[in-house]
Amino acid sequence: MQHNKNIQWPEVSAPIAAAHPRKRQIHGDTVIDDYYWMIDYFKKGPRSAEVIDYLTAENTYTAVMLKETESFQEDLFREMKSRIKEKDESVPYFKNGYYYYSRTEEGNQYFKFCRKKGTLDADEELLLDIDHLAEGYAYYAAKGFSISPDNRLLAFSVDTVSRREYTVYIKNLETGEIYPDRIANTEGAAIWANDNQTLFYTAKNPVTLLSEKIMRHTLGTDTSTDVSVYEEKDNTNYIAVGKSKNGKYIIISSEGTLSSEIWLLDADLPNNDFKVFQPRRNDVLYTIVPLQDRFLILTNDDAINFRIMQCPLDKTDREHWTIFIAHRPDVLVSDIEEFRSFLAIAERKDGLTQLAIYDLNSQEQHYLDFGEVAYTVYPGINVEYNSEKLRYGYTSLVTPSSVYEYNMGDRSKTLLKQQEVLGGYDQSAYKTERIYAVARDGVRVPISLVYKEGIQLDGTAPLLQYAYGSYGASMDPSFSSNRLSLLDRGFIYALAHIRGGEEMGRQWYEDGKMMCKMNTFYDFVDCGKYLIEQRYTMPDHLYAQGGSAGGLLMGVVANIAAAQYQGIIAQVPFVDVVNTMLDETIPLTTNEYDEWGNPNESDAYFYMKSYSPYENIESKEYPNILVTTGLHDSQVQYFEPAKWVAKLRTVKTGNSILLLKTDMDYGHGGASGRFDYLKEIAMEYAFLFKLEGINH
């Protein structure tokens, strides 16, 4: 491992965590864990104070090590903030007689949620002032805005801790009164029945944070009397409740990685029982789209990349499904946006997103054309069923986020809004490429690249390689005004579309999960190797970044390819896979069995153990590593990165830098304000720039 020898770091001792050995015995395997005790703050155990002391000591150490970058961090923060249009407004959408939009004001961290009746020239109604509501809170997230069918009431959800536990509030939009109905421990969305009195919501277990029940609440009643209308017995499934676009159905969905199930209720009859659409079957996923005269079903039943089926409104069992659009092995169908006369079908082909428009009357289909080598297109906010106009979003590594309106009838399109980059942004000054690395098993892995025109591709440029690679989540090319601070200082940015995502179809995901998980890690390393071979960069200037499950990727990469990377940024990293998956009291654990495996089973245990970053730390030189986490993180608990760093400190050799920054106020997604999160990005960029000897 080579390091830039001329970079000076403060001569200060790093914190050394106390070792309190704990023995883990399972499947005939014994492991001593010196840092298991760091779970105590989460478990309210006897060493809670010791945990906080350790995290605080690490924060102090990080601050000292990065002290000389503080003014640079401030400059970077101001630079990124200066590109954001502070006084801005979203594209209004029309629903049930009103135009809805949000707007932001100069200097404020949050936003206002507003509407206008009938026309955009009407007087504004300020529905929620989030800037005002967030006053006094270190963290404030509001979401799930749901208007009653009579337009009088607004349900909205708030989380002030950053653990994704939302409380639902009801506001009377005519009087301004917030009703006493307050529903705690929810997923954050409440759905109105058509009587304007009944709400359905998803209740969470406050310990495991799993979504376990769908509840029914009647306005004006005590929430303790709310009725459970659905309870999920399979703790590997997530559940949710929503409403069909045509307003006819309340829909409960239960979905895991391997199976799903839908339950329906007539939205006019909220006190009736929900009825199952099609009972769950092993290895079969499906979602439904209600039309006026039938249901469409998007399913992987006998179709790995999904196909669209149809059935009558009164006969929904599998035996009544017929083919609407057949399966295509080279096209993944990912979503359907329904309208009275048209469908907009979101697909993936050759690693790129695309939109197909289907005319329900003529049964003809056509595609939208975009003309860039790597881009992302997706259906936008389309809440009006009786419309011929499709809103869609478009972006690429060089094209700012754009909202278009497409007339599906006459095929005309209008740009409604493009993200404004203040200070001027010249798209032609940046170049984007799509290249393919060949992984060690012969599979071609796409990489999307962006860099400033004029960069010498001779191996001397610094390069930041990013990926995720889990849950079938595709990391599509998108624009970031913050990223310009990297590109303008000579960095190349590479987005590796590795297995575990769904960029290349459903099989791409299947080949990067469970007992095939190593493909995810090898793909990333092999992409980095290819970037070096093609002279985009070299190991002295190659950096890696990933968060959450992408943080697991970072931990594995640090173990298996340490010499290939100069530095790594691991954000909220899932690095203690075996111990977390063995503990069902840790939030969300059982939901993850279909992704990683269940370590109570011997084969899964030993496979996980073979790659888990915490279990595989070796006495060797590691890259420079910056680790970030949040004390209140609900997805990856703080103790995973804390343990990982503590163990790395005592085992690794050499003089590479290892930093841990724990945010004591926030959770998995970081800061809630629209500017505060930039401070963490500024710190991460300053870390990279310091390693490159860039100081302004």
CB 560 within 8 A of CB 474: no
Pairing of strands 307-311, 322-325: antiparallel
Determine the Cα–Cα distance for residues 396 and 631; give it in Å rounded to an integer: 34
User: What does the H/E/C string look like for 414-452?
Assistant: EEEEECCCCCCCCHHHEEEEEEEEECCCCCEEEEEEEEE
CB 351 within 8 A of CB 497: yes
Burial code of 409-444, b = ≥16 C-beta within 10 A, e = fewer? eeeeeeeeeebebeeebeeeebbbbbbebebeeebe
Instruction: State the number of CA atoms in the 13 A half-sphere of 376 facing the CB.
Output: 21
Q: Among positive and negative, which fits the CA dihedral 292, 293, 297, 303?
A: negative
Residue 212 CB neighbours (<10 A): 17
Determine the Cα–Cα distance for residues 24 and 266; give it in Å rounded to an integer: 51
Burial code of 554-566, b = ≥16 C-beta within 10 A, e = fewer? bbbbbbbbbebbb
Determine the Cα–Cα distance for residues 564 and 587; give it in Å rounded to an integer: 34
User: Is 123 buried (19+), middle (13-18) or exposed (0-12) by CB count in 10 A?
Assistant: exposed
Inter-CA distances, 19 with 2, 33, 34, 578, Å: 31, 9, 5, 19
Tracing tokens 């101001």 back to the chain, one arrives at 78
User: What is the arrangement of strands in the sheet containing 342-349, beginning at the earlier edge strand?
Assistant: 332-338, 342-349, 352-359, 365-367
Tracing tokens 């079908």 back to the chain, one arrives at 345
Determine the Cα–Cα distance for residues 253 and 248; give it in Å rounded to an integer: 16
Determine the Cα–Cα distance for residues 641 and 2; give it in Å rounded to an integer: 25
Residues recognised as catalytic: 548, 633, 668
Determine the Cα–Cα distance for residues 37 and 53; give it in Å rounded to an integer: 13
What are the φ/ψ torsions at residue 506 (nearest 5 degrees)?
A: -60, -35
**Which residues lie below 8 Å from residue 555, measured CB to CB, with a gap of 6+?**
570, 573, 575, 613, 614, 644
**Which residues lie below 8 Å from residue 296, measured CB to CB, with a gap of 6+?**
288, 289, 308, 309, 310, 324, 336, 338, 343
CB 517 within 8 A of CB 500: yes
Inter-CA distances, 242 with 257, 292, 346, 506, Å: 20, 18, 20, 25
Determine the Cα–Cα distance for residues 164 and 204; give it in Å rounded to an integer: 10
Determine the Cα–Cα distance for residues 660 and 668; give it in Å rounded to an integer: 15
